[in-house]
Amino acid sequence: MSALPDIALPTNRDENWRYANLRPLAKAKSDAIAAHDPATPVDLPAILPDYERWVFIDGHYSRELSTDTDASCARLIGVREAGDTLLTMLDLDLAQAGVDFSLARVNGARGDVVLHIAPPDRAQARIEIIFIASAAAAAGTSYPRVQVHGGRSSHLRLVERHLSAGATDPLVNAAVDIALRADGIVDHCRVQNCADGAGCFDTLTAHVGERATYRLRTVTLGGIASRSTIFVKLAGRAARCEFSAAVIANGSQGHDVFAGIDHVAPGTSTRETFRGIATDRGKLAFNGKMIVRETAHGADSDQSLKSLLTGSGAEAAARPQLEIYTDKVSAKHGATTGKLDEQMLFYLLSRGLDRLQAQALLQWAFIEETVSQVELAPLRLEIEQLIATRLNEISRLEGLVTNS
């Protein structure tokens, strides 16, 4: 990473960081947490069938909690090697774009190891990574690091989870970099369900090659403050990105997403869906920036950003942004912010459902569109349960699962 400059922490004065709650970042100790055993036992989710599992505690690999990964296309490498790899596998300006925003690289030389995942040409791989934050922010920061280098026509199914155990206010600063060669596919599902006091920051870059597809499904539930900074570059002809984000901000949680998707090559396409629910004094922000370059003839982008507010102090700012430099393009976008539909609520009440149940059901219905895009059934079920819990109505929503 030495090739990349060191930069200062972002501030709310920067337009692209206006809605992020940066207090946990400022308060935390920025040193990486030393390797240690977690103080409290870690409660891991059930193993996903056919997936290998890599577990990291405060950024450090845990062999005991991981499955046997001898035959894996993933391996651990040092941060320096990873920095070099990053520069070779990504074009420099994407890495540089990341730097302008990146928290990940503020302390780039810190952290321990990087999980480097490289499915060879035509290979299939299923990998689940679990990052557990167990130490308090006062003790340091956890730096999860992942690199993906997908071979030609390879297909990687990647599940990335962020959980916490023990500390109620950990600080996580994750970095994921993805590069996909021609005809490759990455199905990336990220679930962030850290403790309610956690600070969760991440930077994600993806470079998508010719006819390759990057699918990103994110579910953001935990943390007092979270910020995802995402850059996707559709660099090869007919490269495609599908991104759906489900976000729930309860109490005084604040979640912020910046997603910049850059259409460089002809025939590139994007489908972006954001569904956010803010209750109580929860705050949501989603800044979806679509860039279509002069070279991207026939590009096709579609953004649908919707927020639902159910508390008097809840706020949402969902902003589609388009920067288009060619005429031969189709760019659709829509952003709405609203409350629960009174007619739907009355209909459910008129069938005898109680008010809390009816409200939870309508919130569920609102966010379901994004969750249904998670293809892996056991994971989707788990996410449905997590969301039901967040809506505080788990028993009331029991049995409400999508039938695929």
Partner 1 sequence: MSALLEISNLSAKVGGKNVLNGLSLTIGAGEVHAIMGPNGSGKSTLSYVLAGRPGYEITGGSVRYRGADLLSLPTEERARAGLFLGFQYPVEIPGVNNVYLLKAALNAKRKASGQQEVDAYEFLQLVRAKMKLMQIDESFLKRGVNEGFSGGEKKRNEILQMLVLEPALAVLDETDSGLDIDALKVVAKGVNSLRSSERGVLLITHYQRLLDHVVPDFVHVLARGRIAKTGGKELALELERRGYDWVLEVA
Binding site for partner 1 (CB under 8 A): 341-344, 346-355, 357-358, 361-362, 364-369, 399-400, 402-403
Residue whose CB is less far from partner 1, 6 or 341? 341
Residue whose CB is less far from partner 1, 120 or 338? 338
Burial of 271 (0-12, 13-18, 19+ CB in 10 A): middle
The structure tokens 């943390």 sit at: 223
Residue whose CB is less far from partner 1, 65 or 349? 349
Beta carbon of residue 401, minimum distance to partner 1 (angstroms, whole number): 9
Beta carbon of residue 352, minimum distance to partner 1 (angstroms, whole number): 4
Beta carbon of residue 368, minimum distance to partner 1 (angstroms, whole number): 4
Residue whose CB is less far from partner 1, 280 or 368? 368
Beta carbon of residue 370, minimum distance to partner 1 (angstroms, whole number): 10
List the beta bridge partners of residue 176: 146, 204
Beta strands 124-133; 185-192: pairing state: unpaired
- Strand, helix or coil at 70? coil
- Strand, helix or coil at 10? coil
CA dihedral sign, ordered 4, 21, 131, 244: negative
Helix and strand numbers (H, E) in the chain are 6, 19
How does DSSP classify residue 277? E
Residue whose CB is less far from partner 1, 324 or 362? 362
Cα(202)–Cα(174) distance, rounded to whole angstroms? Answer: 4
Beta carbon of residue 386, minimum distance to partner 1 (angstroms, whole number): 17
Beta carbon of residue 309, minimum distance to partner 1 (angstroms, whole number): 18
Cα(273)–Cα(259) distance, rounded to whole angstroms? Answer: 11
Residue whose CB is less far from partner 1, 312 or 403? 403
Beta carbon of residue 372, minimum distance to partner 1 (angstroms, whole number): 8
Q: Determine contact, residues 386/220, Cβ cutoff 8 Å.
A: no
Residue whose CB is less far from partner 1, 81 or 354? 354
Residue whose CB is less far from partner 1, 275 or 293? 275
* C-alpha 344, offset from chain centre: 31
Q: Determine contact, residues 54/115, Cβ cutoff 8 Å.
A: yes
Beta carbon of residue 348, minimum distance to partner 1 (angstroms, whole number): 7
How does DSSP classify residue 38? -
Q: Determine contact, residues 232/134, Cβ cutoff 8 Å.
A: no
Closest CA to 306 of 330, 283, 279, 273: 273
